[in-house]
Amino acid sequence: MVSIIVDDHILLRSYEEKDAAELFEAISSSRQHLHPWLEWVDNTTRPEHSLQFIKHSLHQLNEQEALALGIFYDGKIIGGLGMHKWDLITKRAQVGYWISREYEGKGIINNSLQKFISFLFEKIGLNKIEIHFDPKNKRSANVAERLGFKVEGIIRQSVIRNGMPEDVVVTGLLKAEWKH
């Protein structure tokens, strides 16, 4: 179980099976908001899907393959963030994140990622963290830039999103570059 205090209101922690219904509701309430950027939203149509995700994420944590955390605001799930594509040899991973529409633009993702990135560099021992995002997702571009990530390139038509081939911007941050 991983738990990271961000501030007096925000806690990042591993999901538990009992969180499934609340996680599903947080996703459902922001489905239209999340849909353009996150392909998994369309596959989360029932609370059972959130439970399956939680069980899978706990298994991945145990196997040191990935780490999924809920963003809890005063005890309520308002989003999530995580580390995936964890390469133990190169000490590199990708991070991803989402937040419910009503909490967007309040600095919660930025503050949560600051703590999470510090955790990944200091406790997990990563040397490089990447954020991949759709070039049209200006909010993610701004998050990556504010946190010091450098654009490393654009991989053209490398994912299928909403049935169409889409480009992906790859940004990276080295441990030596982290200033927070």
Q: What CATH number should be reported for the domain holding residue 32?
A: 3.40.630.30
pTM value?
0.92
Mean pLDDT confidence for 110-117:
98
> How distant, in Å, are the alpha carbons of 1, 58, 77, 79, 81 from that of 13?
7, 12, 10, 11, 10
| Per-residue pLDDT band at 180 (split at 50, 70, 90) | confident
- pLDDT at residue 38 greater than cutoff 80: no
* Residue-number span of the structural domain to which 65 is assigned: 3-177
% of the chain beyond a pLDDT of 70 = 100
* Residue whose entry in the numeric block shows the structure tokens 């999103």: 161
| Per-residue pLDDT band at 77 (split at 50, 70, 90) | very high
What domain count does the chain have?
Answer: 1
